[in-house]
Chains A and B, each alone.
Chain A
Amino acid sequence: MLRLPPTRWTRPPSLDAAVAALGEPGARALAGGTDLVVALKNRTGRPQCLVSLADACPAGIDTGGGGWAIGAATTLWDLERWTAPPSVAAIPEAARSVAAPPIRSRATVGGNLCLDTRCVFYNQSAFWRSGRPPCRKAGGEVCHAVPGGDRCHAVFSADLPPALAAVGARVRVAGPDGERRKDVADLYTGQGLAPLALAAAEVVLSADVPALSGRSGSAFEKIRARRGLDFAAASAAVWVEAGDDGACRSARVVLGAVDSGPVRVARAEEALQGSLLEPEALETAADAARRAARPVKNADFTPAYRRKVVGVAVKRAASRAWQRAVGAREASS
């Protein structure tokens, strides 16, 4: 069977100790391990030391301060059971769509936020990769997905980030220089090679979700091969807010799994704003999403198909979000 490479392992007792340990060369954060352990077995990452964040990051959903702080160590199993208000319902919905229950019982929010990009030519065993030159993401100079291409197109396929970005969440990050906050969207570089905008030894502490207007709703829609288990072939998270006139006042539309980072689609948002989310508006938003998507041949299904269905995902997420917004408005009036 595939064996783990010999790797040192530590479990620092505090955040400060963890940040210090992560400052050592070759150190890498370990949360639930559901992605990292596979990478170790495949030898795609070869850290010298794994630094467990078990005692460094908070777990659970903290309701202080007019919003919710979802601790990085919260498992997706717990997050999917959160009875979130309609405005942020996309979050547990996205959590529920990750992998399968046994994996979600270990997988964490922090690990999902910091998930590496994926590619069918990269997420393979060392044996598999030994038959061809290493690709860019593996330190080489070619790309097997887009021969002749000048960048890495590995797919950003974590499910929580689009949902968190759609509801305008921020992340709290700690590092050697202390703590800072930034928008979820700014956590990502959009680069297949190095998708995270984190400095060395920085860890994500929590995702901070704002309390949003009672007239808003959000939803996450994921297209995947199997209901039981699969990464997204395309996904969309949509947040919409109803105005006093009954029309959509503001909207945020974020795509997943169709590029190397989450993709916010301003054109789609414009199409929804001012509309009643009637079919024409949804279709215009879907078209904008299709144009914004940049799938290549390195995940489930053909790129053309993923482009088509990311539009469908936007329509469905938007409709569901709208129902939630309108339903919430009716409930609150």
Chain B
Amino acid sequence: MSVYVGKSVPRRDTRLKATGEARYTADLALPFMLHAAVLRSPYPHARLLRVDTSRAEALPGVRAVITARDASGVKWGVFRYTRDQEFLARDRVRYIGEEIAAVAADTEEIAQEAVALIAVEYERLPAVFDPLDAIADGAPRIHDHAERNINIHVPIHVGDVDAAWDACDHVHTEMTRSEEESYFMTEPYAVLAHCDRQGTVEVWMPNASPHTKAKGLANALELPVSKVHVRHVAIGGAFGGRSDMFPGEYITALLSRKTRRPVRLVYTREENSIAVRQGHSMVVESRFGFKKDGTLHAVDVTCHMDGGAYSSTGPIATSVPFLCFEQTYRVANVRYNGYRVYTNKPIRGMIRTHGRAWACNVDMQLDLAAEALGLDPIEIRLKNALKTGDHTPTQSHIPSMASHETIRAVAEASRFREKWKRLPPWHGIGIGCVSVMSGFPMGIRGGSAAMVKFDEDGGVHLISGVVDNGQGNEGVVLQIAAEALGVPIDQIQLTASATEITPIDQGAYSQATTLVSGNAVRLACEDARRQLFEVAADVLEASAEDLELADGKVFVKGSPARAVPLAKVVRSGLLKGKSVIGHGSFGPNVDQRREWIQNPKGQLSAAFSYGSAVVEVRVDPETGFVDVLDVWASHDCGKAINPKEVEGQMDGGVAMGGHGGILLEALRWHEGANLNTNFLDYKIPLAPDMPPIHNFIVEADDPVGPFGAKEGGLSISMCTAQAYANAIAHAIGTHIREFPHTPDRVLDTIEAREGTEDEAS
């Protein structure tokens, strides 16, 4: 019986955040600190003919001005083969917002004034803003190395797709498009950097992996990793948009190195929107072939993603939408050609929804096939959903996946079958499913380790590389530690993130934290327990195997009266020169030879979760507005370490993937300039917009995850998107091929349909 795991204990940071006491990077200040501002390109594509900083340097209060001349020239890219971005543009700028120069000054106002005094002579170059235009003949070339502006090509082919169509009874081609999403973290990006006179650099910034940041920054600054300390700080959201390196941290560190003073850079909301990361827009062409009984037999998908000006996490971002598909529905013959294309737009990265045009295309195909073959949407999903023991086309074994349970949970709770095709006019119901991985191969940075040490009064100190950017990762490892040790949560202190203390950790992306970092913490605690029992065996005159630790006391199993407090055990150990320090190290069982482009096969992840959602809507046929009546979401997260947290992730998933992703959110453009960079113009759903949500947690107890836990939340963000789109299609009698389904698109589709009856037959 677990005592701490599975309980909805309040998070340690909740009160701090609610009262405003939590300190984010922009709240931090150091003595003698300077303020930075960045000069960015106002043009989407231009050659830099001259950058004259003399007037800025002459402004009183300015302490340093830097340009590419001051930079090391080390290029950033997540992989060796994708290093294409200098942190300060050298001779060419490729998107609106690209960093050209930066200033450190006594105040932020002076720094901004100085930036305006930097004179830049540009030679405007032709620019391209759409991935299909960018690969067309005669398109302007954005990088010398990229033929037809193709940045990444992920080719996957399993089985024989061309031969498989003949064996299919229903074959259908679909084309979907989606615009870019933006993350809109509550906290705009900010960096505080301090290069001291010993040549070490301390850095605070919102991030998803302190160790990745430390290494990237060490490379760029040409320092050993030991000289770069990324510190712990409260972080206001990531959603995939804090995952790799940004010029901000390099620029701030360089300014600090130059001035020998701490420097803080705080982005504007607009900078956070255009100069960190955005989601990819994409065009997805799919061909799906099914057998008469509804078995999915062949799939061919070509996707063109707008990657923006640089690579960032390109190969991963190009692959993940496909991977989520191949884990969700079984298919013997599949081909994927994913192209990430350079354009003159801001840089695109990973985002929690991983391509609505991709994911929704799949579930649209399933619904259309069900219709054509006389099945209902539930049946066709139960027939094709992967489950425990299956293999994906690219050779991942699925150790545990309660796909059917999640589908049934939402189908039953929503009374889907009673409602399907029987709802009043303009009402609709739809379902979507997805499987998400808990981590993927990340080479030397794919594992995590933890340590646990004890104070003389029995206090416990846990050290883990885990990073919490809002989702509650710190709380998760604390609950795991309490359970594994048998010590109340309050008695445990956590040191996390700080890179000079904590061991390497993969970071808070790829949904790996609970599984990987959580397991490392569990192992460290188990190791500590073993050592404590050895010491306590003497004290209690019992054998170590017979001992138990609960509620902060060590006792003999079966006779709780023969007990000794943890503090006493720790002190007895210290007297004998035995300081108990537990150590745990965990690397997930993934195929390290797997590579995104060269070798996309082998075990991808140690665990795979599953999510299903049903959504019921009412469409206003006069305005195209969609009223969402109810959302039912069900998630196999293995085990909910903290059920409230998992529900919070599920609610957030509905908001971001479903309501925002399908009804509201899209970046708007004018000649490469982002038109909606603020909270008013970019439409994230707000509290009054949200529908009632009914969450169902399915606990299939993952064999690998700590206490059975794996990914929690991302599945829901994706599958609700698909359910929203299908529900709208059911309500208006046809699918909409463009995402998001804003009211103008819904109304246009309704009007175009009137008379044409395209697919309702």
Contact = CB atoms under 8 A, between A and B. Distances in A.
A331 interface: no
Interface of B: 26, 40, 42-43, 96, 108-109, 112, 188, 266-270, 622-624, 664, 668, 670-671, 673, 675-677, 680-681, 683, 685-689, 742-744, 747-748
Interface string A117-134: 000110011011011100
Contacts of A226: 664, 683, 685-686, 688-689
Which secondary structure dominates where chain A touches chain B? loop
B686 A128 contact: no
Interface stretch (A67-75, A172-180, A301-309): A301-309
Nearest to A311: B622
A131 B687 CA distance: 35
A227 B686 CA distance: 8
Contacts of A312: 622-623
B689 A227 contact: yes
Contacts of B109: 3, 6
Contacts of A320: none
A223 interface: yes
Given A228-B686, A312-B623, A3 B112 contact: yes
Given A301-B742, A309-B623, A120 B42 contact: no
Give me the 6 closest cross-chain CB pairs, A-B, nearest first.
A228-B686, A131-B42, A305-B744, A228-B688, A130-B42, A227-B688
Interface centre among A6, A100, A309 (most CB of B within 10 A): A309
A181 B634 CA distance: 62
Contacts of B687: 228
A308 B687 CA distance: 28
Interface of A: 1-3, 6, 100, 120-121, 124-125, 127-128, 130-132, 144, 223, 225-231, 301-302, 304-305, 308-309, 312
Contacts of B686: 100, 226-229
Contacts of B622: 309, 312
Given A1-B188, A226-B685, A230-B683, 16 more contacts: A1-B267, A1-B269, A120-B668, A120-B681, A124-B675, A127-B40, A127-B42, A131-B96, A131-B673, A223-B623, A226-B686, A227-B688, A228-B688, A230-B680, A301-B743, A309-B747
Contacts of A231: 680
A131 B43 contact: yes
Contacts of B668: 120
A30 to B, nearest CB: 20
Contacts of A128: 42, 270, 673, 677
Nearest to A298: B675
B687 to A, nearest CB: 6
A2 B268 contact: yes
A21 to B, nearest CB: 25
Contacts, number: 80
Contacts of B689: 226-228
Contacts of B267: 1
Contacts of B270: 2, 125, 127-128
27 contacts: A1-B188, A1-B266, A120-B681, A124-B675, A127-B40, A127-B42, A130-B42, A131-B43, A131-B673, A225-B683, A225-B742, A226-B683, A226-B685, A226-B688, A227-B688, A228-B685, A228-B687, A228-B688, A230-B680, A231-B680, A301-B743, A301-B744, A302-B744, A305-B624, A308-B747, A309-B623, A309-B743
A304 B668 CA distance: 17
Contacts of A2: 268-270
Nearest to B44: A131
Nearest to A316: B622
Contacts of A230: 680, 683
A295 B108 CA distance: 40
Contacts of A227: 686, 688-689
A302 B742 CA distance: 10
A301 B740 CA distance: 12
A6 B108 CA distance: 12
Nearest to B190: A1
Contacts of A6: 109
A229 B108 CA distance: 31
Contacts of B268: 1-2, 125
Contacts of B266: 1
Contacts of B680: 229-231
A100 B266 CA distance: 26
Contacts of A309: 622-623, 743, 747
B299 to A, nearest CB: 34
A90 B664 CA distance: 28
A2 B743 CA distance: 33
A223 B671 CA distance: 28
A121 B683 CA distance: 17
A250 B689 CA distance: 36
Contacts of B685: 226, 228
A85 B688 CA distance: 27
Contacts of B744: 301-302, 304-305
Nearest to B679: A229
B278 to A, nearest CB: 16
A1 B267 CA distance: 5
A130 B120 CA distance: 13
Contacts of A301: 742-744
A64 to B, nearest CB: 36
A1 B272 CA distance: 10
Contacts of B26: 1
Nearest to B107: A3
Contacts of B40: 127
A97 B3 CA distance: 49
Contacts of A131: 42-43, 96, 673
A304 B747 CA distance: 11
Contacts of A305: 624, 743-744, 747-748
A130 B268 CA distance: 16
A121 B727 CA distance: 35
A3 B108 contact: yes
A125 B96 CA distance: 13
Nearest to A99: B680
A1 B190 CA distance: 9
A228 B690 CA distance: 9
Contacts of B269: 1-2
A254 B689 CA distance: 27
Nearest to A301: B744
A134 to B, nearest CB: 13
B655 to A, nearest CB: 12
Nearest to A2: B268
A305 B664 CA distance: 15
A175 B270 CA distance: 39
A42 to B, nearest CB: 10
A120 B675 contact: yes
Interface centre among B40, B112, B671 (most CB of A within 10 A): B112
A1 B678 CA distance: 13
A2 B43 CA distance: 20
A308 B26 CA distance: 45
Nearest to A123: B681
A106 to B, nearest CB: 15
Interface centre among A125, A127, A230 (most CB of B within 10 A): A127
A329 to B, nearest CB: 28
A233 to B, nearest CB: 9
B108 A1 contact: yes
Contacts of A120: 668, 675-676, 681
A18 B358 CA distance: 59
A125 B681 CA distance: 13
Nearest to A121: B670
